[in-house]
Amino acid sequence: MKTAQIEQTETLNPYEIAKQQIDAAATKLQLPLHITELLKRPKRVLTVNFPVQMDDGTVRIFEGYRSQHNDAIGPTKGGIRFHPDVTLDEVKALSMWMTFKCGVVGLPYGGGKGGVICDPRTLSKRELERLSRAFMEAIADIVGPERDIPAPDVYTTPEIMGWMMDTYSRLKGHYSPGVITGKPIIVGGSQGRTNATAQGCVYAIRSALQDIGLPIEQATVAVQGFGNAGRIAARLLAELGCKIIAVSDSRGGIYDPNGLQIDRVEQLKDESSIANYGPSCHITNEQLLELDVDILIPAALENVITQENAARIKARIVAEAANGPTTPEADSILSKKGTIVIPDILANAGGVTVSYFEWVQNLMNYYWSEAEVLEKLETTIVQSYEAVRDLAKTYDTDLRTAAYMISLKRVTEAMQARGWV
């Protein structure tokens, strides 16, 4: 009975959630209604259906999307996700979150996002390559180094970015590395990009730990998701002396209160399954979220912290490496409990920040060292965190609302300066 009631009161549609988050910040900023209404809609959404030949000779039709939310400050920017559960509303929400993510760290971009409904785990490498190239061909008319710049997201990799860059370059008749970021280094990728999302998240966590006076080497951590963001965050935090007591992937998690050896977990992830780690106990993804840790890092998909489990979250800091892991209802429960939620648009902004550096390097054709990239990334994330935290104090609000306020203000000023509103 209780579950049925909960389902009726809380939306799990990411697009509806993104709109609620905009409303919360717009109310505090007292933005005019027409501006809020404009920000709640993507400027342009493209749906594509395209054929891909499978290895057995059959042809399958795939559906994909590219949403360009707002380009007042610059070209739209954001990843492409390959996942069986991709929906148009999800891609629209993710493109909105990208606008506000770029806004909070001050990048000269608006937000975009793409997705293809597919399960890359069931495709061969050749099928994956054909699918990636076909999707890029289908969206080529609306992307470009000065229009909309994709990047990796859930289940997409540097190798896929390389194929997509090649397809776009062939279509245009010239090498065009600036069309996409997250590429392999040899074809215009940036030093530091692979680790950037996790590295940015670690910089934000470090600042939050300083705020609560907890030394990083005493902190315990649970990480949900062992992909582009979670796996590297676990490794970087372990290197800083944190005790990683639980990690999980889509199949389930492992838990050891004495701390997991992350290099062994990584090896198992590559060779077989993290479930083969021993001695440790197996836990579900739901149990992992409720562990008694200092830092919880949701680094998988949306809506894992909801009004159903929020009251049982024990972590002092929730650092959202994933996009959209916490619902608005869960947010208010956590906020009342005093949990520090470092919102996705700040906690995982390291990825798009180094994507921006990659794009700048591509446009200049001049490449930077890893040390230079990391130094710039650290400055960007630490300063953005401090600005968000200070504004949250001033307005007596949570970090998410403060982060949105900074972004909304920037985007609104740009739209005003361009005479749109």
Active site residues: 113
Contact characters 97-136, ligand GLU, x per CB under 6 A: ----x-----------------------------------
| Tokens 């389902």, residue located | 7
Could you tell me which of 304, 321, 167 has the C-alpha nearest to residue 230? 321
Residue 291 or 297 with smaller CB distance to ligand GLU: 297
* Residue closest to ligand GLU (Cβ): 79
- What is the distance between the alpha carbons of residues 385 and 61, in angstroms, rounded to a whole number? 43
Tell me how many residues contact ligand GLU (CB under 6 A).
13
The least distance separating ligand GLU from the CB of residue 79, rounded to whole angstroms, comes to 3
Among 355, 362, 380, 384, binds ligand GLU (CB under 6 A): 355
Beta-carbon neighbour count of residue 7 at 10 Å? 12
Three-class DSSP labels, 24-93: HHHHHHCCCHHHHHHHCCCCEEEEEEEEEECCCCCEEEEEEEEEEEECCCCCEECCEEEECCCCHHHHHH
Pick the stretch among 48-56, 72-80, 119-127, 245-253 that binds ligand GLU (CB under 6 A). Answer: 72-80
The least distance separating ligand GLU from the CB of residue 297, rounded to whole angstroms, comes to 15
- What is the distance between the alpha carbons of residues 402 and 390, in angstroms, rounded to a whole number? 9
Residues 131-190 that bind ligand GLU (CB under 6 A): 151-153, 181
Contact characters 294-323, ligand GLU, x per CB under 6 A: -----------------------------x
- The SS3 call for residue 113 is strand
Residues whose CB falls within 8 Å of the CB of residue 9, separated by 6 or more in sequence, listed in order: 307, 329
Pick the stretch among 71-79, 256-264, 380-388, 399-407 that binds ligand GLU (CB under 6 A). Answer: 71-79
Beta-carbon neighbour count of residue 255 at 10 Å? 18
Is 83 one of the binding residues for ligand GLU (CB under 6 A)? no
Residues 225-284 that bind ligand GLU (CB under 6 A): none
- What is the distance between the alpha carbons of residues 94 and 85, in angstroms, rounded to a whole number? 14
The least distance separating ligand GLU from the CB of residue 355, rounded to whole angstroms, comes to 3
The least distance separating ligand GLU from the CB of residue 352, rounded to whole angstroms, comes to 4
Q: Determine contact, residues 168/94, Cβ cutoff 8 Å.
A: no
Residue 245 or 342 with smaller CB distance to ligand GLU: 342
Residues whose CB falls within 8 Å of the CB of residue 361, separated by 6 or more in sequence, listed in order: 188, 190, 367, 368
The least distance separating ligand GLU from the CB of residue 108, rounded to whole angstroms, comes to 13
Residue 228 or 327 with smaller CB distance to ligand GLU: 228
The least distance separating ligand GLU from the CB of residue 130, rounded to whole angstroms, comes to 22
Could you tell me which of 180, 77, 193, 194 has the C-alpha nearest to residue 132? 180
Burial class (CB in 10 A: 0-12, 13-18, 19+), 190: buried
Could you tell me which of 318, 324, 322, 278 has the C-alpha nearest to residue 300? 322
Phi and psi at residue 158, to the nearest 5°: -55, -40
What is Dmax (Cα atoms) for the chain? 62
Is 351 one of the binding residues for ligand GLU (CB under 6 A)? yes
Is 192 one of the binding residues for ligand GLU (CB under 6 A)? no
The least distance separating ligand GLU from the CB of residue 181, rounded to whole angstroms, comes to 5
Among 75, 78, 110, 324, binds ligand GLU (CB under 6 A): 78
Pick the stretch among 50-58, 133-141, 344-352, 382-390 that binds ligand GLU (CB under 6 A). Answer: 344-352
Residues that bind ligand GLU (CB under 6 A): 77-79, 101, 151-153, 181, 323, 348, 351-352, 355
